[in-house]
Chains A and B, each alone.
Chain A
Amino acid sequence: MLLRYAFRELRNSPRFCLLFCLNMTLGLTGFIALDAMKRSFEDKLQSSAKNMLAADLSVSARRALRPDEMEKLNAALPDGTRQLEILTLYSMVTSAKRSVLVELKGIDQGFPYYGQITLEKKGLYEGKQPLDLVTAPKVWVAPELLVQLDVKPGESVRIGSLDFVIDDVIQDDSSAAMIGASMAPRIYVGKNTLTQSGLIQFGATTTHTRLIQLPASESIDQVEQRVNQAIDDAGVRVSAYHKSGQDNGRMLAYLSDYLGLVSLVALALAAMGASYLFRMYLDRKQTAIATLVSIGLTYFKAMMLYVVQLTLLGAVSAVLASLVGMLLVPLASGLLKTLTPVPLSIEVGWPSFALAFGLGIAGSILVCLPQLLRIRKLNPSVLFQEFSGGDRLWTAALWASYVPSFAAFYALSLWQAHSFKVGTLFCATLLGLALIFAFIAWSGLKFLALRSRRGSLSSRLAITYLRSQQSHSLNSFIALGIGAALINLIPQIQHSIQSELQRPDGDGLPSLFLFDIQEDQVETIESLVRAESVTPKAVAPMIMARLSEVNGRPWQRANDQAVTREEEQEQRSRNRGVNLSYRSTLADAETITEGVLFQGPYQDASGKPGELSIEQRYAERLGVKLGDTLTFDVQGLPVSAIVTSVRTVKWNTFQPNFFLVLQPGLVDDAPKTFLMTLPSIEFDKKLQLQKKIVDTFPNISIIDVSKLVAKISELIEQMSLVLIVMGWLTVLTGHAVIFSIAQNQALARRWDSNLLKILGADFKVILQATMKEFGWLGAGAAVLGSILGLLASFITGKVIFKGLWQPSLLIPVTVTLALVAVCLLTSYIATRRILGEKPVLYVED
């Protein structure tokens, strides 16, 4: 019976149904599309993770495993296990004309255990086939290298001290992670010939990875745990294929966290709009509910009648959102292609449908709960009054009824952000913004009260409307304002980052970043570049080490499953080798936040431990503070140092910056390599110099910083674009709220409008009044939203990006004008038809 009556009521209220579903659909769409994207991505990642790792398990370090570690590893692995070692490093490759930084992968017979490499000439290559690359100095190259090096298959390229023939070209590679984000194109080479090239020498940034294939019956997680326990060096990384897959998708995971939060803003605005619409709907239904109660329907059943209606509307919204999501996801696939490690085909699957239904139905009921509870407070004696006023009795129970929807929203925020800190900050910011908007709107209405007798008739009417319907005005103002703040914030941050990348400190970025320079090569290379009239910008030593103790306690590797992003970051910081450097002064990009930099060079005779300066965020992740003693294993020798200063570093200067800098004199004699940056040089000269360096020192690798910056800019642009699309969806939802309110207001003012017409007011005056009302609301919210968006971008820039803020005034001006225009248009469309009706005084029950 309830279902039947609920359906009939809804059928009789098409405008309410349409607007309610419009709000909820818009609010859910972003969320569902994003969920579909995340699920498709995770599914794809999981299904291709084994191929991407090319094994079940990997054990990797920036050095070869020691014999004792190999013994422990073999003991931890079950019988029937297969394993091989591959080498990965970044190095320069030269042809007769050019030199290019590449990712070298030295592989051995049996690689890959899973997946395949498709080659242009040979076709499909799998691990079980014989590997030509180990028999002679031959390489398989990524296709773009043929262009970059200006070579053809069959010709030679030089890697280290050996010439290699280009045997084939890679068409497809199932183990190629981070396609778009890879720093350099890939070359496959035989491990033995790579070793003969002389590149695998001390200090080179080579990763030694043991790929392990387990018998099918073995539990990979258990073996991973055993290996982790057997090798306790934090610098040795043990990864099961599924975790390795997650690592590869980290960039998209971070992006989707923030997209999730932006989509939640849309959902919150939609909920606000839906709640408003339902309140208006129930106000109109008050008599009907009272009638039902008077003829014997219990309050509970009356409430259930509307719960059923909300369920139906929520379900319809969920279906519509899923359908719109289906249309949107192909667009998302295109936008995200450079951010995903695997080609992505996104589709809205059953789990996303289920989420849409859950959120649509539960969300609709939760946000309307306060209105539903008002049914219990309805006094049916209103039926004996000619006009029934709304019951606005605020009780503790009514206030409490808002709690479930806020709690659910908070839970969703934590879920989306994967971070207690970020989720809480997000909710607090959103609430803070809503309160600021509400306060300013309320103050504005008070101010307007002073002007209510001034101006033209349409202005006075607009002021009267705004003041008499305070809750509508506040709802509109908050919805639009938050949207405006959001769409200002994202491009402002993007603009700041890109401006900073293009000119970090006024004197430009370095043009080349050199690494893997051996100690005995430093002087020669300095002379070489000076001979070309180029003065090195910075030269820094780098010592590979392992953190072994903190305050005398052994430093343990974190093996637990990380739940939040903070835990993930902490684990990554803990579970990796460290690079140490030493110098006596601060670099331009550094600022001391705590303590003081070194008190002169280290004095061995003093008997005191050395001093250490640590980067602020790295210290937070390790849980290290001023005064703590850190002990490093430097080539088997323990070196202890006390943290005497904490620094912030502007990483985007692209200078040799380090998390850990030691006092000079403490580890100066340790085996090390050097990093060097060269200043801005004109393009042709840069290419010549690069070729000359690589010809002289084949082991030195060079990053072209301008290319890297261009790549980062492109990534930021892509990420911003996706965020902006989501931001606009929020604004669209804000407009749906405005449209809903404008429609309802026009309906509610039908009587007033017609009375005005009968009294001789021009149709234009009434329309102008409505346009002014919503135009002022839109302009006020857009200006305030832009200011707050700008302020938020300033805080984000100063706090998160350490002083990075380059505002663009074009953004707020464009956003404000666009929002006012859309707001006027929305209110015009919403009210024109109703205001244009013949002046008949309607009598509504």
Chain B
Amino acid sequence: MAIVEVRQVSKEFQQGETVIPVLRNLSFGVESGETVAIVGQSGSGKSTLLSLLAGLDQPSQGTITVDGQSLGQLNQNELTRFRGRSIGIIFQQFHLMRSLTALENVLLPLDILGMSNAEERAMDALQLMGLGARAKHLPQQLSGGECQRVAIARAFVVEPRILLADEPSGNLDTATGEKVMNLLFDAVAQRGMTLILVTHDMQLASRCKNRLPLVQGQLQTP
């Protein structure tokens, strides 16, 4: 059974009196444990689609079901709790808390969900990313690759069923990007998580089992 189901989803933005369609009538499903790359040019609507899948924004039309739960039926608080529990997100700009150390950044979602053995689990996640020695460092003391690895550790530390990644190597150089992506794919495989990533990097997309090409807000049939 599909863990993510997108049915006839459209998204429009209003700018003054002009309505700008970003996504048009999308429908697709992602199976549990599958890795999927949403690919497309800048402005094709990839990030918008990802924010809809994360429940960070609502579609103008259509429904999105994640792990059997229709996101449209949840209120803001329920959605937030559901996301915290079931979805991990990795951002292109990392979005780490500047005032917290690497370890504390990874601890954050565990604290929010009130999970037990939080510190131990966070440390394990960091070590898995090869950052055990950098646990006490602040984000500004880390390199871009290290920051992204902290962000990945933060995303999977609560062991969500789905991982969403927005251009996860977009802010990294090729070598670092490849190294970080290896760690990401290894972690996903080890935990049997579902990964949906957005990228315009075809090499990265090729590492995923499925690819969904997005052109001007519409999925292209391969």
A residues in contact (CB < 8 Å) with B: 1, 5, 8-9, 11-13, 287-288, 290-301, 379-381, 383-386, 845
Contacts and interface: CB of A to CB of B under 8 A. Distances in A.
Interface string B77-112: 100110111001101111111111000100011011
Given A1-B111, A381-B56, A385-B47, A291 B83 contact: no
B48 interface: yes
A9 B104 CA distance: 12
Given A381-B57, A384-B51, A385-B47, A297 B112 contact: yes
With a 10 A CB-CB cut-off, give which of A290, A295, A297, A383 has the most chain B CB atoms: A295
Contact of B51 (A5, A292, A299, A381): A381
Contacts of A300: 77
A386 B93 contact: yes
Contact of A384 (B48, B96, B100, B109): B48
Contacts of B131: none
B5 interface: no
B144 to A, nearest CB: 11
Contacts of B142: none
Nearest to B83: A296
A295 B112 contact: yes
A294 B54 contact: yes
Nearest to B47: A384
A384 B95 contact: no
Given A12-B99, A381-B57, A384-B92, 10 more contacts: A1-B112, A8-B100, A288-B95, A292-B108, A297-B80, A383-B51, A384-B91, A384-B166, A845-B94, A845-B95
A294 B111 CA distance: 14
Contacts of A298: 76-77, 80-81
Nearest to B57: A381
A9 to B, nearest CB: 5
Nearest to A10: B99
A555 B108 CA distance: 75
A381 B11 CA distance: 13
Contacts of B93: 383, 386, 845
B123 interface: no
Contacts of B109: 295-296
Contacts of B129: none
A350 to B, nearest CB: 35
Contacts of A13: 99
Interface of B: 47-48, 50-51, 54, 56-57, 76-77, 80-81, 83-85, 88-89, 91-100, 104, 108-109, 111-113, 154, 158, 166
The 9 lowest CB-CB distance pairs between A and B, nearest first, are A296-B84, A12-B99, A381-B51, A384-B47, A381-B57, A380-B56, A291-B95, A295-B109, A381-B56
A464 to B, nearest CB: 24
A11 B93 CA distance: 23
A798 B113 CA distance: 67
Given A296-B80, A379-B56, A386-B93, A11 B99 contact: yes
A294 B81 contact: no
Q: In this complex, which of A5, A294, A299 has the most chain B Cβ atoms within 10 angstroms of its Cβ?
A: A294
A500 to B, nearest CB: 61
A383 B56 contact: yes
A383 B104 CA distance: 20
Most chain A CB neighbours (cut-off 10 Å) among B48, B50, B80: B80
A383 B99 contact: no
A380 B53 CA distance: 13
27 contacts: A5-B100, A5-B108, A8-B99, A8-B104, A12-B99, A13-B99, A287-B95, A288-B95, A291-B96, A292-B97, A294-B54, A294-B83, A294-B95, A295-B88, A296-B83, A296-B84, A298-B76, A298-B81, A299-B80, A300-B77, A380-B57, A383-B166, A384-B47, A384-B51, A384-B56, A384-B166, A386-B93
Nearest to B138: A12
B91 A383 contact: yes
Given A296-B112, A380-B56, A288 B97 contact: yes
A380 B94 CA distance: 14
B37 to A, nearest CB: 16
Contact of A295 (B51, B76, B94, B154): B154
Nearest to B93: A845
A293 B80 contact: yes
Contacts of B88: 295
Contacts of A294: 54, 56, 83, 89, 95
B9 to A, nearest CB: 14
A218 to B, nearest CB: 63
A180 to B, nearest CB: 56
Nearest to A11: B99
Nearest to B154: A295
A5 B105 CA distance: 11
B51 A296 contact: no
A528 B50 CA distance: 106
B106 to A, nearest CB: 11
A216 to B, nearest CB: 62
B168 to A, nearest CB: 12
B151 to A, nearest CB: 10
Contacts of B113: 296
A8 B166 CA distance: 28
Nearest to B46: A384
Nearest to A844: B98
Given A12-B98, A12-B99, A384-B51, A295 B81 contact: no
A9 B99 contact: yes
A756 B51 CA distance: 36
B137 to A, nearest CB: 14
Which has the most chain B C-beta neighbours within 10 Å: A13, A301, A379, A381?
A381
Contacts of B108: 5, 292, 295
Contacts of B158: 296
A383 B88 CA distance: 14
A299 B76 contact: yes
A5 B99 CA distance: 9
B77 A299 contact: yes
A428 to B, nearest CB: 38
A845 B88 CA distance: 20
Contacts of A292: 97, 108, 112
A663 B89 CA distance: 93
A6 to B, nearest CB: 10
A185 B139 CA distance: 76
Nearest to B109: A295
Contact of A379 (B57, B111, B166): B57
A384 B50 contact: yes
